[in-house]
Amino acid sequence: MSTISVRIDETLVNEARSAAQAELRTLQGQIEFWAKVGRAALDNPDLPADFIAECLMAMKEPPEEATPFVPRTRR
């Protein structure tokens, strides 16, 4: 994957740096994650942003660490 340099407001970079530390991501990874959440939120305006973020994180979870879905009731 190629990279490019972009100018980003220093306040946003500092916020991303803090979030990246808390979520065990790199600064670049955190900004990319926020961009993906934002793009998905625009594409799906009826879904809450936190739901979208959780879905994106779940999709990256290794299958062997995933919690299997168990329905509450069985028919």
Residue 31's nearest CA partner among 8, 59, 1 is: 8
Looking at this protein, which amino acid is placed at residue 3?
T
Please say whether the beta carbons of 33 and 56 come within 8 A. yes
Given this model, what pLDDT does residue 20 score?
Answer: 96
Q: Is the pLDDT of residue 1 over 80?
A: no
d(C-alpha 33, C-alpha 29), whole Å? 6
What does the pLDDT look like over 15-65, one tens digit per residue?
999 999 999 999 999 999 999 999 999 999 999 999 999 999 988 888 888
* Domains of the chain, residue spans: 10-57
The pTM for the full model equals 0.75
Given this model, what pLDDT does residue 75 score?
Answer: 61
Given this model, what pLDDT does residue 2 score?
Answer: 83
Please say whether the beta carbons of 41 and 49 come within 8 A. yes
Q: Is the pLDDT of residue 73 over 70?
A: yes
Please say whether the beta carbons of 13 and 27 come within 8 A. yes
